[in-house]
Chains A and B, each alone.
Chain A
């Protein structure tokens, strides 16, 4: 499809145009010391000149020294919060004096949103959740309604974090399919960022119409080459690797191995990895009753497989050890998901590594498993 270049004024007009079309535009901004999606009134609200520094259990925002508006990786929050909300009322039910029950289902409230500045791994994560929450025989009405008319503008990654490993999963640093528009930033060396250029690829007819509405020019060959170089350089900086070769068999063969107890010596079972993960979808159903006892509401809230309650059955939890709960998360994400939904549950965003308070690294744990198996051979 079409590739065009826009300048800063064009980028600004693009955001304004989305608002004018009736979209609630969300994009990255600094909030409480982290770069996360928020309502984006204009291009001026992007984190111009900021980056992040990430390591296992470490995250800092820092000044970059150039005029990049997208010179950082992903923060702890993802677009999952908008599509698959942390708290959602499912229904309310009343009981009258005779004990009769009346059920009122909570209709999801549709909002038309544009996600602006979505990272390729985030786009892949949305695809993963699409598969889980809407492709089955019983689509989730909340996710389906939130997702239906989302417009997605991605930005290829130019400065991945040290915890990133998207090339291992084939999800980045260049945007894969599913976007309406995909941007590669050619950042101005000057702090003002006023001469930054944005190479825009069109991914859908809707994206084409929107791009046509803002001033652009044909992308000259040197800008195309520069855009490719941004992605190539980003790929080169990512040294973490998750080796997916025979990964399902490897993990299934090691479900009974000694490794889980060793991870459990460090794992706090806090669930941070599941809450920051952009694909983790598990929810708990909670009934809240009013003081009069005549009305109860059911809430669906994010849950974590690291809680003891998660696997609760009559006789008690199935997974009563931290080792068994870490195994559930790891083996579901990297193996069971493939059987259940036809693809990996991991997109290589590295959030679970950065936000683990003790720095447990999913790529290291897999490598340890692989090394252990090779040592046995």
Chain B
């Protein structure tokens, strides 16, 4: 466009305030937990000493490494944990690599939290079935902690969790603790791997649903929270619907390329959904027709 140097505006117009969710806040890494293989949890607190922002399970923070960029990661600590927020991160590219390489005492940035959480308040009857695949257990951890706290022992909370190999099952100590305190935990692996001491079932997560040796529930009065790879969520939904779980009681988390977190940048769309605004948690019957289309 042509710009005439001789004529410019002489009036100041009004400003729109900068949304707090757009502002990165420095957070200090106060601990690092090497979880499994290439997955690390960072425990972070605000550098300025202020309180941790409250969040609901499955809400996401945009966590950033100086000079590299940000990644959308769900907060994996319990909502009742007041001394840090945990982010469980797989080393996958430059950003996640820089994040997990941040030393204890180092500084990252965080924006958020944002997104729609697991609808724990809507689970008013029956069993809560929590299904995780691989790193997909991370956005479920805060939900499990809260469900165990709020629902047990009157209500059944059942965890079904699968990973590629036994050594890739995350949060082993938590799984033991949940199991010890009365939550049913069913584990499955795709492949026994080299260790050879796996005595549990081998296969994929949907194999456990309704099978004689697997998980059997009053399916018609069950709410399911499902998080894992798209293909695992797809087949879990089919299995759950066939068993009789009402379609409006099956919930997914979606993963797409989140960048702004404010529904402004357009990257995290999946059909009509803007994942940072309408998700990451969505009801499966609302997303099913879009979720099942390849590359959408």
Q: Do A and B come from one complex?
A: yes
| A138 closest partner in B (C-beta) | B262
Provided the pairs A22-B10, A101-B66 are in contact, do residues A31 and B1 lie with their beta carbons within 8 angstroms?
yes
CA distance A336 to B269 in the complex (A): 9
* CB 8 Å contact bits of A306-343 with B (1 = contact, 0 = none): 00001111110011110110011001100110011000
Tell me, yes or no, whether B37 is within 8 Å of chain A by CB.
Answer: no
* Among candidates B2, B15, B68, B90, residue contacting A287 with C-beta atoms closer than 8 Å: B68
Q: Measured between alpha carbons, how far is A110 from B294 in the docked complex, in Å?
A: 44
Contact check, B13 vs A293: say whether CB atoms are below 8 A apart. Answer: no
CA distance in complex: A281, B272 (Å): 16
Minimal Cβ-Cβ distance residue in A for B105? A99
Please give, as numbers and ranges, the residues of chain B lying within 8 Å of A90 by CB-CB distance: 22
B277 within 8 A of A: yes
Residues of chain B lying within 8 A (CB to CB) of residue A103: 23-26, 109
- Name the residue in A25, A140, A141, A328 with the highest tally of chain B Cβ atoms < 10 Å from its Cβ: A140
The stretch that binds B, out of A143-151, A348-356, A369-377, is A143-151
> Given known contacts A110-B15, A111-B13, A141-B19, is B47 in contact with A100 (CB within 8 Å)?
yes
B2 near A289 with CB under 8 A, answer: no
Q: How many residues of A contact B (CB 8 A)?
A: 82
From B121-129, B208-216, B252-260, the one touching the partner chain is: B252-260
Which partner residue on chain A sits nearest B266 by CB separation? A282
- Assess the A24–B22 pair: CB atoms within 8 A: no
Q: Specify which of A143, A255, A313 is in contact with B256 (CB 8 Å cutoff).
A: A313
Across the interface, which residues of B come within 8 angstroms of A138, CB to CB?
Answer: 19, 21-22, 262-264
Which residue from chain A places its CB closest to the CB of B92 in the assembled complex?
A: A314
Expressed in whole angstroms, the Cα–Cα distance for A296 and B92 within the complex equals: 22
Name the CB-closest residue of B to A132.
Answer: B264
Is B93 an interface residue, CB under 8 A from the partner?
A: yes
A149 to B16, CA, bound (A): 11
Chain A residue contacts of B70, Cβ below 8 A: 285
The reply to whether the CB of A113 lies closer than 8 angstroms to some CB of chain B is: yes
Q: Are A285 and B69 in contact (CB under 8 A)?
A: yes
**A221 contact set on B, CB distance < 8 A:** none
Q: Are B16 and A282 in contact (CB under 8 A)?
A: no
Contacts of B21 in A (CB 8 A): 138
B230 to A, closest residue via Cβ: A318
* Cβ–Cβ < 8 Å partners of A113 in chain B: 9
**A38, B67: Cβ atoms under 8 Å?**
no
**Residue A303, interface by CB 8 Å:** yes
A145 to B12, CA, bound (A): 10
In the complex formed, the residue of A with least CB distance to B276 is A138
Q: Hey, which chain B residues are within 8 Å of A26, CB to CB? A: 1
Contact at B96–A314, with CB atoms within 8 Å?
yes
- Is the CB of A77 closer than 8 A to any CB of chain B? yes
Within 8 A of A (CB), among B172-202: none
With A305-B266, A314-B93, A318-B296 known, 8 other A-B pairs at CB within 8 A are A37-B1, A39-B2, A102-B26, A108-B16, A136-B263, A283-B266, A285-B259, A324-B294
Instruction: Give 5 pairs: A residue, B residue, CB < 8 Å, sorted on A.
Output: A252-B289, A300-B265, A324-B296, A335-B272, A340-B272
